[in-house]
Amino acid sequence: MSQLPALWRNYINGQWHTGQSGNLSVDNPANLSKVADITLASPEDVDSAVAAARACHNSAVLPAMRPVERGRMVRKMGDYLLENCDEIATVLTLETGKPLDEAKGEIQGAARYFEYYANQAETLDGRAIPLGKDYIDYTVYEPFGVTAHIVPWNFPIEMIARSVAPALVTGNTCVIKTPELTPLACTYIAKAAEFSGFPAGAVNILCGYGHEAGAALSNHPDIDQMVFTGSVQTGTLIAEAAARNLVPCVLELGGKSAAIICEDADLDSVVESVRWGIFYNAGQVCSALSRIIVHQDIHDELLQRLTHLAENLSVGSHDENPDMGSLVSMDQQRRVADFCQQAQQAGAIATTGGAPLDRPGAFFQPTVFSQVTANMAIATEEVFGPVLTVQSFADDTAAIQLANSTEYSLAGGVFSNDLQRIMRLSQQLKAGQVYVNEWYAGGVETPFGGTGKSGYGREKGREGLMNYVHSKNVAIRLK
């Protein structure tokens, strides 16, 4: 691709705007070089974006369309991403530090959301309710109106697509606040909306600080729906702000997910799942497989195989074609290192890794910890890095107790060839989704979300579509 622009802007009401809060330097975490500047949105810019979204919604241009027309426009957004995948992936790689193949996979995943929800556009039917011969009663689904989307830095393009696709296909308008660390590739969503023919104000994209633009958006009185993916601390603040305006939320706040490995499990499948479950995107995944709970009879063998896996993963910048890229920032590297240091001080043993790589950039060694106890922070708190803990169990009761011992409940897994045991353990796991014999089994079609500190509401699948509509009942007396 040609040289990147030196300055990137916000997108409001169909126009590119310079933010009123100065510029932000976006850096490449793999070599600490500057990628570009992006202008920062102020609270006044947030007001302008929300007003544009409100005006577009009030015009009724989107709800007035046949659903198939909205679906075709949403589908074209995905087509645009695929047609420009190489260019967008290059930008995404530079600002996130992830390998180029992973960046391309994220773009393709984002396009899949647009495809899936485009196909759902015509399926959102109301229903008739029998009230006797003197009445006709029916329900219809209507869009909320203006939806707000605050996006995390780990999968910025895919997370926008996950919520914006169902919002648009149901006739809502969108205001999106991108992450400060990885905002550049997000701007291609605006280009995709233009390419697809969405009217001005339907899609608005802002980069701004969380305490400034994010707070202004979550507190805005003219927002009808709020979607947030990120930390528990920030999610709590957003929920409080939304509650003051009586605005419904969908919150996805992370996890500390465990897989129970039974003694009859296929260990090749377990190792492959760990490869993608904790080392993909350098472990910066909310539903990462961060804990292995393995039967004591196969603990030593599996620990050896997982250690070998981690030791043989290449780590480097995208031009080195590595198995794993860098963390998103030096701050994130320090955070992961602190977790590892505390674990070792508490008695955990790093069978491999446990420290940053000895090279410039936010790189961290693929890490496996054994001798981990349930009270260690490494076993209970979300590290958000390439760090796996391995614990053993003697019976299924102990396995479930360990798996359910954190405040999170996003994902869980079971690896076994015993169907009855799989069903029993799956029922007992405290998790919004359970992966059996393959971590990340499922897809765009399957609902995703948790409870407790993992948040509430569901994204993906049919459940994700229902976030953006409310039901209206019409009762008609015939005489």
Q: Catalytic: which of 158, 286, 382, 459?
A: 286
Q: How far apart are CA 457 and CA 449, in angstroms?
A: 6
Residues facing 407 on adjacent strands: none
Amino acid at 156: P
User: What whole-number distance in Å separates Cα of residue 385 and Cα of residue 278?
Assistant: 8
Closest by Cα among 157, 165, 168 to 199 = 168
Q: Would you call 252 a catalytic residue per the annotation?
A: yes
**Of 106, 158, 252, 382, catalytic:** 252
**Residue 340 a catalytic site member:** no
3-state DSSP call for residue 29?
coil
Q: Of the candidates 174, 172, 234, 229, which has an alpha carbon nearest to the alpha carbon of residue 203?
A: 174
Q: What strands lie across the sheet with 10-12, from one edge to the other?
A: 15-17, 10-12, 203-207, 173-178, 146-150, 225-229, 249-252, 455-456
Question: Do the bridges between strand 367-370 and strand 135-143 make them parallel or antiparallel, or are there none, so unpaired?
Answer: unpaired
Could you give the CA distance from residue 211 to residue 220 in angstroms, rounded to a whole number?
13
DSSP secondary structure, 245-289, as one string: TT--EEEE----EEEEE-TTS-HHHHHHHHHHHHSGGGG--TT-E
Catalytic residue numbers? 252, 286
